[in-house]
């Protein structure tokens, strides 16, 4: 009897880790699994999702309405910002009252409670989140904020008065982060703060919550200057090791756009994703930002857009296959027809672009998922107003971008037909 009892206890101990990991996304070769079954997905970017519940009952109601809508249409994987950094007078960015870290090392508990609420609601719906810690770009503070905190001066803001901004000035400024030890130390502390959190609503440790699919080091990492490449690569490796030392349950990725982000060659992209602590590769596809068409000539340049996107997907997928890791197209977008922001404008070209991207995801082995940019939900652009201002509803376009530029709203029925079609197929 004693031997039988011991054998039973031993079997339970052996089975415990597997039981504890139920619902977590894992990597198997060039694909994902959940509980041993293949996991492929169509999802969206919902960067502001954690902020909605901080807007009281109305914000919580909106969040639940939008999650139900996404679930109904098969978009069950959401890429979300953990939190913004810094307080500033720059108006084209996440508002100061919604900043997670207003000062270095000082955190706004209310913002984290909002993220708690989002994760709790995702868990109820069997949906997943990919959470990115920080940002290369200024619209949420990002790594430029750590430079400002450590005496490097004001970062060059787009659309700022006085003409201080230029692309070269921004590159030079941001590239300094990778050699600023106090900056990197402060970001490490922020990451530790998030990873050690316990959800205030359901008591789950973040490191043990299957509603989280993956952590992402930074939105769109770039070394910015060639001289910064070695330090940039070392920083990615350092943060990856830090995250995995605390959280061994979740996946980790970089948040990279692809080789365009290296500014130099594909070797940088390959190296950061070859790191043993990076579980899968990411790419972004931005026809407008990358000059595949000019002004409003989307229809005229349509063949160029598709050909360029197809080539971009293929060359990055080849690297993923060589590394034997999955790849995700985690950002892609296109303006409404004729570059008009109103919902009255058609989405003919966008719909066909989405169809092209999603068909690649479904048909190509090794592409494990896609998140379009971005879900605008029930919010609406304000007639006659181009940019976000305090008090406006959040939508898929962050503060520094024209409101309605790339957002897919709940009323964009033709686009949702395509999203739902491929969400059903990919299952």
pLDDT of 10 > 50? The answer is no
* pLDDT at site 385: 93
* pLDDT at site 144: 97
**Regarding predicted confidence, which is higher, 134 or 14?**
134
The verdict on residue 11 lying in a domain is: no
Residues 6+ apart with CB under 8 A from 205: 197, 198, 199
DSSP symbols for 132-168: EEEESSGGG-HHHHHHHHTTS-----TT-TTS---HH
Cα–Cα distance for residue pair 194/236, rounded to 1 Å:
18
Cα–Cα distance for residue pair 418/415, rounded to 1 Å:
5
The verdict on residue 264 lying in a domain is: yes
Span 39-45, average pLDDT:
98
Residue 201 CB neighbours (<10 A): 14
Residue 56 CB neighbours (<10 A): 9
Span 318-329, average pLDDT:
98
**Weakest mean pLDDT among 6-15, 41-50, 346-355:** 6-15
Average pLDDT of the residues of the chain: 93
* pLDDT at site 147: 98
Cα–Cα distance for residue pair 91/386, rounded to 1 Å:
13
How many domains does the chain contain in total? 1
The verdict on residue 353 lying in a domain is: yes
The verdict on residue 131 lying in a domain is: yes
pLDDT of 1 > 90? The answer is no
If phi > 0 it is left, if psi is from -120 to 50 it is alpha, else beta; for residue 135 that is beta
The answer, yes or no, to whether the previous bond of 374 is cis (omega within 30 of 0) is yes
The verdict on residue 64 lying in a domain is: yes
* pLDDT at site 400: 85
pLDDT of 267 > 50? The answer is yes
Q: Which domain holds residue 73?
A: 37-426
**pLDDT by residue (tens digit) across 292-307?**
998 788 888 999 999 9
Nearest to 159 by CA among 142, 139, 175: 139
Are the C-beta atoms of residues 329 and 283 closer than 8 Å to each other?
Answer: yes
- Copy the structure tokens of residue 312: 């971009």
The verdict on residue 17 lying in a domain is: no
pLDDT-derived band at 14, boundaries 50, 70, 90: very low
* pLDDT at site 261: 81
Q: What is the dihedral of CA 179, 180, 185, 186, to 10 degrees?
A: -140
pLDDT-derived band at 47, boundaries 50, 70, 90: very high
Nearest to 130 by CA among 219, 192, 246, 39: 219
On whether the pTM is more than 0.75, the answer is: yes
The verdict on residue 14 lying in a domain is: no
The verdict on residue 4 lying in a domain is: no
pLDDT of 20 > 90? The answer is no
The edge-to-edge listing of strands for the beta sheet with 31-34 is 25-28, 31-34, 37-39
Span 267-284, average pLDDT:
98
Question: Can you say how many angstroms the Cα of residue 32 is from the centroid of all Cα atoms in its chain?
Answer: 18
Cα–Cα distance for residue pair 19/16, rounded to 1 Å:
5
Cα–Cα distance for residue pair 334/317, rounded to 1 Å:
22
**pLDDT by residue (tens digit) across 64-120?**
999 999 999 999 999 999 999 999 888 888 999 999 999 999 999 999 999 999 999
Cα–Cα distance for residue pair 377/355, rounded to 1 Å:
20
Q: Which CATH number fits the domain that encloses residue 144?
A: 3.20.20.80
Are the C-beta atoms of residues 231 and 179 closer than 8 Å to each other?
Answer: yes
Cα–Cα distance for residue pair 272/265, rounded to 1 Å:
12
């Amino acid at each position: 009897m004693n031997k039988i009892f011991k054998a039973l206890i031993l079997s339970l101990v052996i089975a415990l880790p597997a039981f504890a990991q139920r619902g977590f996304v894992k990597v198997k070769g060039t694909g994902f699994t959940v509980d041993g079954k293949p996991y492929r997905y169509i999802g969206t970017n919902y960067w502001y999702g954690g902020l909605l519940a901080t807007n009281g009952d109305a914000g919580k109601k909106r969040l639940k309405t939008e999650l139900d809508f996404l679930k109904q249409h098969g978009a069950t994987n959401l890429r979300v910002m953990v939190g913004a950094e810094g307080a500033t007078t720059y108006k084209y960015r996440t508002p100061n009252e919604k900043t997670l870290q207003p000062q270095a090392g000082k955190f706004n508990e209310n913002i984290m409670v909002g993220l708690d609420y989002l994760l709790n609601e995702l868990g109820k719906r069997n949906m997943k989140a990919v959470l990115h810690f920080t940002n290369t770009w200024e619209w949420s503070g990002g790594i430029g904020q750590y430079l400002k905190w450590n005496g490097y001066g004001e970062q060059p803001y787009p659309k700022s008065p006085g003409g201080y901004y230029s692309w070269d000035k921004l590159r030079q400024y941001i590239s300094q982060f990778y050699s600023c030890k106090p900056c990197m130390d402060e970001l490490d502390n922020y990451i530790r703060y998030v990873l050690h959190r316990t959800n205030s609503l359901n008591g789950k440790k973040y490191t043990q919550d299957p509603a989280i699919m993956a952590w992402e080091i930074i939105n769109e990492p770039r070394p910015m200057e060639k001289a910064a490449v070695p330090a940039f690569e070392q920083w990615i490796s350092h943060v990856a090791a830090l995250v995995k030392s605390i959280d061994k349950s979740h996946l980790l990725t970089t948040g990279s756009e692809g080789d365009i982000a290296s500014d130099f060659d594909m070797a940088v992209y390959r190296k950061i994703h070859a790191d043993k602590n990076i579980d899968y590769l990411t790419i972004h596809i931005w026809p407008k930002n990358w000059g595949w068409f000019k002004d409003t000539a989307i229809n005229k340049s349509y063949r160029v857009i598709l050909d360029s996107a197809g080539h971009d997907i293929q060359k990055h997928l080849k690297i993923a296959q060589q590394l034997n890791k999955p790849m995700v197209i985690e950002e892609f977008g296109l303006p409404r027809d004729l570059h008009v922001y109103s919902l009255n404008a058609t989405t003919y070209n966008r719909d066909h672009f989405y169809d092209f991207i999603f068909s690649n995801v479904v048909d190509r082995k090794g592409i494990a998922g896609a998140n379009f940019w971005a879900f605008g939900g029930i919010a609406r652009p304000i007639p006659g107003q181009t940019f976000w201002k305090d008090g406006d509803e959040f939508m898929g376009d962050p503060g520094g971008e024209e409101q309605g530029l790339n957002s897919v709203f709940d009323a964009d029925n033709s686009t949702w037909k395509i999203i739902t079609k491929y969400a059903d197929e990919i299952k």
